[in-house]
A and B are shown apart, each in its own frame.
Chain A
């Protein structure tokens, strides 16, 4: 049991952070956006091997990269191409960026679809690898913090490559990825809020000096910090049960997290010039994916207490 990063892991995180620091600000034209995907930054991370960490170093290292990129104001697709695809499809390479969707949602707006070259589809038992034709995708306007797109015509799942029995593995890594991204975005949003409540004065004192604010921020911090370690454990162990637990814990804290952070940022928190939404609405976007809270919680229960043959009730 070792909660400290190894030298290699620390070097990886330092290198990602250095690149992200160089790309910390948004271009002037994007400062009031709901989301901004930076294709140049995406390419830079890919070209330098950071999105290959799962194959070159391991899934925990890929999760560390996804955690760091989730803290960025810029939307980077690291979860699908850096963590989920290599772990759910260990024997094949797919072109990134990678979007993720459940089969029943193929007709809906899909996160990252406008920038994706591959779509991984959760079909329950199986999974499907679908190449994405950018010409077949329409951009969708959304307040959620990712680029969203919709197929002009829902694709035929038969046109993709079906992975028999691949659904569970895809969901496992999707859940690990969601927990990781939520942990990273929550960390950034909490840091941003701490800075705000330390500077902002009300009634002659800092907002963050009021106990009512402090205690709730600590509780949100506890949620984010524990989610981070649960996500890293899920990536390290590669166990589906750990992924279910990580995503379940991540999701059950979303409502108080988003309410409190926007509350503490006051009126500024509902403006797009204040940046908070880049993280909080990314978290909101992840809420229903891969079965959502109910799906994860039921999977945890069914795994810990398997159904007994002949049980009633």
Chain B
């Protein structure tokens, strides 16, 4: 057991920071980050930025060389994620591409599917969205109703998806559809978003622009060749994909950055150095975020070793979420004006984390999974 970065990893982090220095515009924080990473402006920027990262070998370092990667252990991908999050996620939606959509295609895709999609993801030029949740199927994904009925060498898709971040700008959708009557008769289709019959409606919400969309599918024809895996195999694939997704966001990193910014502001307002209570609260937050960091690193270490996914991924998310909740509470206690135009970056941190306990599987589901898979507690 040891907790040091290797020299190569330190050098890789330095290269990533250097790339960020060179590639981000001077007004990045003010003009882009404050718009949220699902905004049109950031999504557009991400195509240019990710392509430039790819040229430097910094977009998919953990992928196999034959698919545009560098065969680096997952630690490199994770270092990349930490630095990108700290910078306001200039990859925009493409963090999903490299975190789980690409790796899932590499594991389960046909050679034709890999040939069609992987180069675009590794080149940083394609936007994907995730078509999972529906108006009546969020946490209980098996209740989904969007149907795909076979018609020759096509499926005909009807239904709707909701909460689909980036849907208005996406080129492709990683779509879950019902292909049979049983709860688990669910399949995955890779659907071009410009297919006739697809329409997207955005709606306002507490989180920032670009995240809350509903996607309608009306007699959308999708070639059978676009199905990922066999019919009815979606659960195994999605479980694999979500195991990547659950440790994909280094929340401790963004949380500590937000805390640093909050302290800077409190200090500038003369509300820090003489107030042991606020310093005490901030100290507790650092400890909470560092605890989340440890469990996240534990899961990455397990992945690097090739261990099968286990409930530690769920546990790391639970611990991170507790820290995020405390951080949001800290902002509301000490800097409420950050939600009233006082600091757009802190407001963005707050707003982007409002659904943190819901996205990617609710916190309650994570707790259930650890209770049974990690602690071996009996079913009710």
Contacts and interface: CB of A to CB of B under 8 A. Distances in A.
Given A222-B295, A225-B315, A313 B272 contact: yes
B1 A236 contact: yes
Given A1-B3, A215-B371, 8 more contacts: A2-B1, A209-B378, A222-B315, A244-B283, A296-B283, A300-B283, A304-B286, A305-B263
A26 interface: no
B290 to A, nearest CB: 5
A198 B322 CA distance: 26
B368 A211 contact: yes
B319 interface: yes
B287 A222 contact: no
Contacts of B275: 313
Contacts of A305: 260, 263, 267, 272, 279, 282
Contacts of B370: 218, 221-222
B2 interface: yes
A301 B377 CA distance: 38
B273 interface: yes
Nearest to A237: B3
Interface stretch (A103-111, A151-159, A226-234): A226-234
B interface, by DSSP: helix, strand, loop or mixed?
A: helix
B274 A313 contact: yes
Interface stretch (B120-128, B140-148, B297-305): B297-305
Interface string B1-30: 111110000000000000000000000000
Interface residues of B, number: 54
Interface string A238-251: 00000011101100
A209 B379 contact: yes
A208 B368 CA distance: 12
Nearest to A210: B380
A1 B377 contact: no
B287 A221 contact: no
B291 interface: yes
Q: How many interface residues does chain A have, given as a range?
A: 35 or more
A28 interface: no
A213 B294 CA distance: 25
Interface of A: 1-6, 9, 60, 194, 197-198, 205-206, 208-211, 213-215, 217-219, 221-223, 225-227, 229-230, 232-233, 236-237, 244-246, 248-249, 252, 293-294, 296-302, 304-305, 307-308, 311-313
A302 B263 CA distance: 11
A229 B294 contact: yes
A185 B101 CA distance: 41
B287 A248 contact: yes
Contact of B2 (A205, A236, A294): A236
6 contacts: A218-B315, A218-B318, A226-B294, A233-B294, A300-B287, A313-B270
